[in-house]
Structure 1
Amino acid sequence: MPLDYERERETFEWDIPADYNVPAVVEDHAESFGDRLAVRFRDDEGGEAERTYADLRDDQNRFAAALADLGVGEGDRVMHLFPRHPDAFAVQLGALARGALLVPCSAMLKPKDIAFRANDCEAETVVVHADLTEMVEPVLDETPLDTVVVLDADGDPERENWHAFADLLEGRPTDHDGPELSADDPMSINYTSGTTGQPKPVLHRHRWMRCFELVNGQYWWGVDRDTDFSDELLWATTGTGWAKWFWSPVGVGLTTGASQFIYDGDFDAGTFLDLMEEEGVTRLCAVPTQYRMFTQVDGLGEYDLALTEAVSAGEPLNREPIQEFEEAFGVTPRDGYGQTETVALVTNYPGIDVKPGSMGKPVPGIDVTLLDTQDEEEVDAGETGEIAVPVGSPAIFDGYYEKPDLDEQTFHGDYYRTGDLARKDEDGYFFFEGRADDIIISSGYRIGPFEVEDALVGHDAVAEAAAVASPHDERGNVVKAYVVLADGYESGEDLTDELQDYMKEETAPYKYPRRIEYVDELPTTSSGKIRRIELREQENEQFGE
């Protein structure tokens, strides 16, 4: 249902009950509509499973009882490392019911990354899928990790302090008398993706999930607890190790009582479209790369999708996939912006007139602003500033786990500065310009990399692009573009000239890439974000003093 933005801003309230906690929310759902589908699961090997809200409650309590016997209690850190799985929620909810803190890890990490996280937060327990134990075994002797729970174990692990998840649940009662939890109790330590150094341990409390329900649910997905979910099926394509899993499957899906689809398999645009059609997915959350790949599928408009809403986050969504997806399905993908440290701060909320390339408008209840990078003065419309939120807002985290030095750096002023730059137009729409350290300054001009990249991918020859500063004797820096070509195109001087001429027509002349390099792929973080710092380092090595 379209929202009245100004009315929402005027009437919004942060309604966060003092006793709010995620396991209690699931208990309430199970009591109210226990037979409602919570999870519909499929994998790429033909596996299928379903869980109702009553199932989630029962398995949550069984696993909590098992963890209690293993000595896991309030404040303990429980790492988890598993793919999308029908029991993912049971693992997470069971740990939370014990008052433990979840430490999610991605299957794309390396053993050294697991060791860093385990040592940094002093985690003693890890839940790992049987296919990923080789990531944990090499670091056991160098970390506090002692107790290992194996998901989908093939029989008894037969190693000291190793336990099969299924065996732990066997015969357990479906109720659990755990600690009393409140909205202010710690819930998770979500490590940042580490684009510019070691990942930081972002500490969130249970109230984070209520904030997602109030903000991400209403002003992004377009759902709340009053939604009729009888004909709804939500699908967020994220993995369990990312903050986006908490943004959507947990923070929106579980909190509102929605029915969700989870698929465990590598991304293939055709396969994902088939799944959406077969399952009747009505609301989709995918990343920009996936939307771009969808629009390259032949016969896109021939898919008979039940989609009514589509949202995107992770990095800015380019104009072309928005327009092509809308033409194919009559649904306009709506971009949203936030961080591991926050809820959605800026969204194209339901009913908004989407401006291609825009993140949308600041959500109600959060005084998001753009500050000058050198002081705390707000910038004018049309100017680039750093996205900032007042310190103390429920929309942001309130510290790093046992890192007072980082807290002091982050919260020393009146605002939490995100490190991301944007500009605002006269209508209040925000446009992403890049990370503060990604901005390109050439001959005194400040150039945001995303505007360059967004224009470049509009050319048929360009599949992906990344723009960075490249040192130049006269201009200080020039724009350098790293380009991944679309199928059927070959690199060469003629194409470079064509792309440069194209860019001069699409953007201000000073923004066109004076240097272009063709690559097979772009360097990314484990969460898929472009590592422009790596590209800048290459440029400094080649052209710097």
Structure 2
Amino acid sequence: MAIEYDDAVATFEWDIPDDYNLPSVIESHADSFGDRVAVYFRDSDGTREERTYDDIRRDMNRFANALAELGVGKGDRVMHLFPRHPDGFAVQLGALKRGALLVPCSEMLKPKDLQFRANDCEATTVVAHADLTEMVDPIADDSPLDTFISLDGASGDWQAFSDLLDGQSGEHDGPAIAAEDPMSINYTSGTTGNPKPVRHKHRWMRCFELVNGPYWWGVTAETDFDDELLWATTGTGWAKWFWSPVGVGLTTGASQLIYEGEFDPETFLQVMDEEGVTRLCAVPTQYRMFTQVDLSGYDIDLQSALSAGEPLNREPIERVEEAFGVTPRDGYGQTETVALVTNYPGIDVRPGSMGKPTPGLGTTIIDDDENELDAGEIGEIAVPVGCPGIFDGYYEKPNLDEKTFSGEYYRTGDLASRDEDGYFFFEGRADDIIISAGYRIGPFEVEDALISHPAVAEAAAVASPHEERGDVVKAYVILAEGYDANDELVDELQSFMKAETAPYKYPRRIEFVDELPKTSSGKIRRIELRQREVDQFGQ
């Protein structure tokens, strides 16, 4: 499908029924086309499983019945921690059918990260893969968690997901759920303090169907999915999982691929070839690594290639175009939003551009006084407060809500400019968030962990340009008395960080310095350190 942009903007309407919720959408899909495969699952050994929409509805309701017996109800918080898994949708949908809020967690987190999340939102239930339960066990007694459910096995206090479903009815009469009821708490990194609990309502899923589906993926509920297979390479613990596999794949009734294995360019290309993927969503780092492989050896027939997380540079765009005949199309948004800016189907892609604002959002670029800026001027990407496509607040954080929504706009913290034709171009962060291979990393998290090492007296973390990952974490370190700068200490600090934080957060580059640039009030001038990195490593 190709979009007539001006017509789409002029005619867009927010059609969100008052009683909208994702479990009811799945019930409707199962009634209409229950035998359609919703999930083609493939593990790293090549074993394949399938789940139809009938299967997902049945297991959603069976799990909801089990949760009801365990006392899980409306408003309760259910954490989940599992890799891409054939039962992942059933877990999420079953909890939602009980009116609970999902709290997704990445398997790359550490026990202390899980403990913070559990305590911060007062989660009482956790669903984890059997291989990951050891991440929860050490923090169980120091958190509100009291119900433990395990995928693919159980031991100790953990109850097996399969055992809980055994004998349960495939129908469930749960609490009434409305579009304005809370649905999820997604934790997102900030420049200071701990991750923030972004609260979304059930309407979020309808917004993805109305925006991300047609204006990025190029699909709607009316698409003929008989010859379509969608694949978003994201994991279950990230907002991108809700952006695409849940928010587009499930809402539109598509068939999609879920692959369990870790990223390897040759393996991913082979999987696309063998499974017949027609629409792919990957991160720029993955596209860059695809271009290091001989693409001529794969028979891949893509209709769409999507990229998100950070700007995609010209070389991988041209290589994918040459090999597969499709142009990778960037999309931009946040954990807090739907797609705000996209290279929509049919657009004349301009390398380096995020595309144009999606219909209905009112996305614009403003200055510090909330004045909209003209073409060529750099300002902050912003969305009018009250737009259905953005989050409605932080979970039980009224002070944060007041700070975030007190003006006319929700300010994203990302800087951009627009050209005379309305194309947006990313210009950097208004704050100090580091985006590496699509992961958002708050410098505070890195610095806080680093200074817990006895060798580190002070540290500052910034983004450092990298050819494949876009940026990597660079740490400037002032050593404590008695320690000497050397390669062995770099290795030691990196190993320490991998044990203390999620692996993607560790500093891939470390530089020992005698002092850090600071403002008169003592704040680190990370902007100055970032410029040093740009000067050394280029954009």
**Preserved contact between residue 191 and residue 431 of structure 2 (Cα < 8 Å):** no
> What CA distance in whole angstroms lies between the structure 2 residues aligned with 1:541 and 1:381?
42
| 2:111 corresponds to | 111
Tell whether 2:317 aligns with 1:322: yes
Of 410, 418, 440, 1:416 maps to: 410
Q: Which of 421, 426, 430 is equivalent to 1:427?
A: 421
- Evaluate the alpha carbon distance shift between residue 141 and residue 351 of structure 1 in structure 2; reply closer, same or farther with a 3 A threshold: same
- Whole-Å separation in 1 of the counterparts to 2:513 and 2:381: 28
Compute the displacement of 1:544 (Å). 2.9
Task: Give the Cα separation in 2 of the matches to 1:385 and 1:470.
Answer: 27
Q: Which residue in 2 is equivalent to 1:256? A: 252
1:363-512 equivalence runs, <5 A:
363-372=358-367, 374-438=368-432, 462-464=467-469, 466=471
Higher deviation after alignment, 42-51 or 281-290? 42-51
Aligned-partner SS, 2:428: strand
In structure 2, the CA distance between the partners of 1:317 and 1:50, relative to structure 1 (3 Å rule), is same
Question: Match for residue 150 of structure 1?
Answer: 150
Q: Is the 8 A contact 2:378 2:416 kept in 1?
A: yes
Between the aligned partners of 2:469 and 2:213, the Cα distance in structure 1 is 30
The 8 Å contact of residues 285 and 470 in structure 2, kept in 1 or not, is answered as no
- Partner of residue 344 from structure 2, selected from 336, 346, 349: 349
Report the residue type matching 1:294 in the other structure.
F
Q: In structure 1, the residue corresponding to 2:394 is in which secondary structure? A: coil
Is residue 345–residue 362 contact of structure 1 (8 Å, CA) maintained in 2? yes
1:199-278 superposed matches below 5 A: 199-278=195-274
Q: Is the 8 A contact 1:42 1:48 kept in 2?
A: yes
CA gap of 1:541–1:346, structure 2 versus 1, over 3 A, is: farther
SS in structure 2 opposite 1:349?
A: coil
| Cα distance in structure 2, aligned partners of 1:327 and 1:398 | 42
Paired position in structure 1 for 2:75: 75
In the alignment, what sits opposite 1:544? 517
| Matches of 2:321 and 2:205, distance apart in 1 | 31
Q: CA deviation at 1:538?
A: 5.8
Higher alpha-carbon deviation: 302-311 or 252-261: 302-311
Unaligned runs of 5+ in 1: 440-452, 472-519
Supply the distance in 1 between the matched residues of 2:191 and 2:432 (Cα, whole angstroms): 11
Opposite residue 112 of structure 1, the aligned amino acid is K
**Residues of 2 paired with 1:119 and 1:395: CA distance?**
28
Q: CA deviation at 1:539?
A: 8.4
> Does 1:49 find its partner at 2:49?
yes
Q: CA deviation at 1:527?
A: 9.5
* Aligned amino acid, residue 115 of structure 2: A
Residue 479 of structure 1 corresponds to which residue in structure 2? Answer: none
Contact 1:305-1:329 within 8 A present in 2 as well: yes
1:45 deviates by 2.4
| Aligned equivalents of 2:406, 2:327: Cα separation in 1 | 40
Q: Is the 8 A contact 1:371 1:379 kept in 2?
A: yes
Would the aligned equivalents of 2:311 and 2:426 in 1 still touch at CA under 8 Å? yes
AA of the residue aligned to 2:296: G
Greater alpha carbon shift after TM alignment, 107-116 vs 191-200:
191-200
Indicate conservation of the 8 Å contact 1:78/1:101, yes or no.
Answer: yes
Q: Which moved further from structure 2: 188-197 or 205-214?
A: 188-197
1: CA distance between counterparts of 2:511 and 2:415? 23
CA contact (8 A) 1:80 1:105 kept: yes
Partner of 2:98: 98
Letter in 1 for 2:402: E
Distance 1:265 1:396 in 2: 32
Contact 1:193 1:527 (C-alpha < 8 Å) held by counterparts = no
Asked if structure 1 preserves the Cα contact closer than 8 Å seen for 2:277 and 2:301, the reply is yes
Q: Is the 8 A contact 1:115 1:139 kept in 2?
A: yes
CA contact (8 A) 1:195 1:531 kept: no
Amino acid in structure 1 at the alignment position of 2:109: L
Deviation at residue 541 of structure 1 after TM alignment: 5.7
Separation (CA, whole Å) in 2 of partners of 1:420 and 1:234: 29
- Compared CA separation, residues 380 and 362, structure 1 to 2 (3 A): same
Q: Sequence identity of aligned pairs in percent?
A: 70
Tell me the distance in 1 between the aligned counterparts of 2:316 and 2:517: 36
Mapped contact 2:82–2:106 kept (Cα < 8 A):
yes
- Secondary structure (helix, strand or coil) at the match of 1:209 reads helix
Aligned to 2:487: none
The alpha carbon displacement at 1:319 in A equals 1.5
Q: CA offsets per residue over residues 314-358 of structure 1, 9 Å max, x none?
A: 111112111111111111000000000000000000000000000
1:203-236 Cα distance to aligned partner (Å, 9 max, x none): 0000000000000001000000000000000000
RMSD of the alignment, in Å?
A: 2.5
Alignment of 1:278-317 (within 5 A): 278-297=274-293, 299-317=294-312
Partner of 2:86: 86
**Partner Cα separation in structure 2 for residue 193 and residue 18 of structure 1:** 31
Q: How far 1:463 moved relative to its partner?
A: 4.2
Structure 2-normalised TM-score? 0.83
Q: Distance in 2 between matches of 1:27 and 1:119?
A: 33
Distance 2:25 2:468 in 1: 43
Letter in 2 for 1:197: G
The answer as to whether partners of 1:95 and 1:102 remain within 8 angstroms in 2 is: yes
Contact 1:30 1:53 in 2 (8 A): yes
> How far is 1:47 from its partner?
2.5
Residues 125, 145 of structure 1: 8 Å contact kept: yes
Q: CA-to-partner distance for each residue in 1:105-158, whole Å, 9 max, x for gaps? A: 0000000000000000000100000000110000001100111000001xx52x
Displacement of 1:197 in angstroms is 3.3
Q: Deviations over 1:448-467 (max 9, x none)?
A: xxxxx99x87xxxx545549
Equivalent-residue separation in structure 2 for 1:316 and 1:195 (angstroms): 21
CA separation of 1:91 and 1:464: change in aligned 2, threshold 3 A: closer
Contact kept in structure 2, 1:193 and 1:526, CA below 8 Å = no
1:337 is aligned to: 332
The answer to whether the 8 Å contact 2:300/2:324 transfers is: yes
What does the per-residue CA deviation read over 1:513-538, in whole Å, with 9 as the maximum and x for residues that have no partner?
Answer: xxxxxxx99x999595x899x98x96
* Partner in structure 1 of residue 443 of structure 2: none
- Taking a change above 3 Å as real, the CA distance of residues 124 and 420 of structure 1, as seen in their structure-2 partners, is same
TM-score, L = length of structure 1: 0.82
Which range is displaced more, 93-102 or 309-318? 309-318
How many angstroms apart in 1 are the aligned matches of 2:267 and 2:67? 37
Matched AA of 2:330: D
Answer yes or no: is the 8 Å Cα contact 1:311–1:335 preserved in 2.
yes
Unaligned residue ranges in structure 2 (runs of 5+): 434-462, 477-493, 519-539
What amino acid is aligned across from residue 334 of structure 1 in structure 2? R
Runs of 4+ in 1 over 6 A off after TM superposition: 467-471
